[in-house]
Amino acid sequence: MFKGFIFDLDGTVYLSDKLIPGADTVIQRLRESGRKVVFLSNKPIQTREDYASKLTRLGIPTRPEEVINSTFVMINYLKKIGPQAKLFVVGETPFVEELKKAGFAITEEPKEIEYVVVAFDRTFDYRKLNIAYQAIKLGAHFVATNPDRTCPVEGGEIPDCAGMIAAIEAVTAKKVEVIVGKPSPIMVQAVLEVMGLKPEECILIGDRLETDIKMGKESGIATGIVLTGVTSEEALREIKHTSIQPDFVFRSIADVENLLIGR
């Protein structure tokens, strides 16, 4: 039986502001059985406190330290490689404020910028693109929070961080150097450190093959896909017998209890 359960959020635990039916019951029973539970998100548009508050409001009492998002991982990464670095941020206000709170200087002057940090940004515009272009042309590093093409929302999907990355790559002819979010081993390490467990003691449950399942497979963590987000049964048939075939398939998070508790 797995000691640690790592749950993706969007498309797995909830869609927009609606809890996936049964998610609260499953999480409660896992906790009652002594399993460690953490929530994982590539989205940097909310803080860990915001995610914890949202989960609590939706019926899953959660502490901020039980949430790991790409903002948390990016801050830890930057502290290790450039604690005094000056940053230009393509991102929304909560992400920028978290970086400032962590002690990083934010600037829009291309000559001062040492790292262009790119995140999911619904306010992305030509001005930001141009600053990023000018800074990278002058030698700034180019890093990003997550590679997701789209983000699942109630009723469909919206463009995610891959769009911002692609725009900057297109004009600079430079590939992003590091992406810290799923499926990066940088995020895996952060998760395992928080949980205090080994990869083989955990299972990662999410809705996206190219991030959630890929990360689990590459790190030795068991994987489960849910069909409430971006992955369809047709997509699963197409990747059968490939390196990203999940270990378990769940109609929804509600099925996790039936298949795993008591193993």
170 and 189 belong to one structural domain = no
Q: What is the pLDDT of residue 156?
A: 81
Cα four-point dihedral sign 9, 258, 211, 7: positive
Which token pair is 226?
């849910």
- The strands making up 105-106's β-sheet, listed across from edge to edge, are 105-106, 86-90, 115-118, 141-144, 178-179
Q: Which of 144, 179, 214 is the last residue of a domain?
A: 179
169 and 201 belong to one structural domain = no
Task: Classify residue 53: in a domain, yes or no.
Answer: no
242 and 187 belong to one structural domain = yes
Q: Which of 130, 162, 179 is the last residue of a domain?
A: 179
Closest CA to 178 of 41, 73, 99, 72: 73
Cα distance between residue 182 and residue 111, in whole Å: 31
Cα distance between residue 144 and residue 130, in whole Å: 17
What number of residues does the chain have?
263
Rounded to two decimals, the pTM is: 0.88
Q: Which of 179, 207, 241 is the last residue of a domain?
A: 179
Task: Classify residue 82: in a domain, yes or no.
Answer: yes
Task: Classify residue 78: in a domain, yes or no.
Answer: yes
84 and 175 belong to one structural domain = yes
89 and 108 belong to one structural domain = yes
262, pLDDT greater than 90: no
Are 111 and 153 in contact by the 8 Å Cβ rule? The answer is: no
Task: Classify residue 52: in a domain, yes or no.
Answer: no
248, pLDDT greater than 60: yes
Closest CA to 82 of 115, 60, 106: 115
Residue 255 sits in which domain range?
4-42+183-260
Are 236 and 261 in contact by the 8 Å Cβ rule? The answer is: no
93 and 116 belong to one structural domain = yes
Mind listing the pLDDT tens digit for each residue in 52-76?
Answer: 999 999 999 999 999 999 999 999 9
CATH label of the domain that carries residue 149: 3.40.50.1000
Mind listing the pLDDT tens digit for each residue in 126-181?
Answer: 999 999 999 999 999 999 999 989 887 778 889 999 999 999 999 999 999 999 99
Mind listing the pLDDT tens digit for each residue in 196-220?
Answer: 999 999 999 999 999 999 999 999 9
Per the structure, the count of domains in the chain is 2
220 and 232 belong to one structural domain = yes
Q: What is the pLDDT of residue 259?
A: 57
Specify the DSSP element, H or E, that contains 12.
none
Angle at 169 between CA 211 and CA 82, to 5 degrees: 75
